[in-house]
Amino acid sequence: MSKFTRRDFLKTGVGVGAAAFVPVGLGRAAALTATAGARPRVVSSGNGIRATQKAMEILKAGGDPLDAVIAGVNIVEDDPDDMSVGYGGLPNEDGVVELDSSVMYGPTHTAGAVAALRNIKNPSKVARLVMERTDHVLLVGEGALKFARAHGFKEEDLLTEQSREAWLRWKETMSDVDNWFPPKTEGLPAEMRSVMQTHGTINCIALDGSGRLAGVTTTSGLSWKLAGRVGDSPIIGAGLYVDNEIGAAGSTGRGEANLQTCASFRIVDAMGRGLSPEQACLEACKAVAAKTKLIPRLCDVQGRPKFGLDFYALNKKGEFGAGGFYQGGRYAVHDGVDNKLRDVAYLFKNPGDGR
């Protein structure tokens, strides 16, 4: 992490009144105490087991938690076989990959994000530069690309053969009355026949041994989305939130539901009120499920969400947890000793189980 700059000094409000730096609305009464010397932790979504490993190596070498989580998710952004993030991510309805990402750094309470960014493999690195090199928080579309070019990022086609094939099958399956014939699927492995919509994403949050927290969320977003659609990942308070006095939270899954609930902010707020990370994630799941009942097309016959949305949280003490709607989710945790996948806590055992 770079040294504290003149701009950081201005952004955090140090020197212009301490009150300017106190986040509004968070439960200060139960704010967790500082944890210098705590064992470092890295938490990520289920596709982030390599990210947690990499990030922990950086933390153990004395590195900064923002460097750690970004280096961790860069592995997945660069991986053509993860079709939900970065290079090889599934494209929008026009066959163009558009990426969203946000970062947040606890010690300065600053954030940066990009949305609908094309042609740049590592949107998380661009999001970090928005935070560190501008007075803005979020850049979108052409402006975000222009900014990335200004910082020397190389433009490349992010659509791999695999993601183009998946997009083409979706396109050919859309309608019986257009001019596209149904896709040829004979001979394709089962996973390649799917034209399902996906909301895959990676979130990674970390606490270092000095009590510094940081987080990142990065995604290619909803597959086959309308061009310009932005999900929850680059929205601070929805796809990611960090408060260095309390904890960090992030999400993967249906961004629209999270955008209407601001769950990451809620989760950090709930941890500030004394809930454990897991309890805070489940409370957010209940809030989303309750609001989803107002939208019947998104509910199953029992009024439960028909989509997935998972939350991940880590508090200042190093406690962690995750929550989702249905049983079966996994998330990655490096607790300083072991790096492994754990079960995501859930509201409902499985869709339609009557619980």
Catalytic residues: 201
List the strands of the sheet with 345-348, edge to edge.
Answer: 240-243, 247-253, 309-315, 320-326, 345-348
Binding mask 181-200 for ligand GLY (x = CB under 6 A): ------------------x-
Q: How far is the CB of 230 from ligand GLY (least distance, A)?
A: 8
Instruction: Specify the residue, 64 or 98, whose C-beta has the smaller distance to ligand GLY.
Output: 98
Helix H or strand E encompassing 118: none
Query: Is 107 among the residues that bind ligand GLY (CB under 6 A)?
Result: no
Q: Supply the Cα-derived Rg of the chain in whole angstroms.
A: 20
What would the two tokens of residue 243 be?
């408060």
Number of residues binding to ligand GLY, judged by CB under 6 A: 12
Alpha-carbon distance values, 16 to 11, 26, 137 (Å):
10, 21, 20
Q: How far is the CB of 89 from ligand GLY (least distance, A)?
A: 10
- The alpha-helical segments, DSSP class H, found in the chain are 6-12, 49-60, 65-77, 123-133, 141-150, 161-173, 190-193, 255-259, 263-272, 277-292
Q: How far is the CB of 228 from ligand GLY (least distance, A)?
A: 13
Q: What is the DSSP letter of 231?
A: -
Instruction: Specify the residue, 256 or 319, whose C-beta has the smaller distance to ligand GLY.
Output: 256
Instruction: Specify the residue, 91 or 272, whose C-beta has the smaller distance to ligand GLY.
Output: 91
Instruction: Specify the residue, 8 or 256, whose C-beta has the smaller distance to ligand GLY.
Output: 256
Alpha-carbon distance values, 210 to 40, 50, 316, 342, 354 (Å):
8, 23, 10, 25, 45
Instruction: Specify the residue, 197 or 350, whose C-beta has the smaller distance to ligand GLY.
Output: 197
Of residues 47 through 86, those in contact with ligand GLY by CB under 6 A are none
How far is the C-alpha of 31 from the C-alpha of 40, rounded, in Å?
A: 19
Instruction: Specify the residue, 56 or 344, whose C-beta has the smaller distance to ligand GLY.
Output: 344
Q: What is the 3-state secondary structure (H, E, C) of 311-325?
A: EEEEECCCCEEEEEE
Q: How far is the CB of 239 from ligand GLY (least distance, A)?
A: 6
Q: How far is the CB of 221 from ligand GLY (least distance, A)?
A: 3
Residue type for position 78: D
Contacting ligand GLY (CB under 6 A), which of 233, 244, 292, 315?
A: 233
Of residues 203 through 232, those in contact with ligand GLY by CB under 6 A are 219, 221-222, 231-232
- On whether the CB atoms of residues 339 and 206 are closer than 8 A, the answer is no
Binding mask 239-278 for ligand GLY (x = CB under 6 A): -------------xxxx-----------------------
Helix (H, G, I), strand (E, B) or coil at 140: strand
- On whether the CB atoms of residues 296 and 304 are closer than 8 A, the answer is no
Interaction site with ligand GLY (CB under 6 A): 199, 201, 219, 221-222, 231-233, 252-255
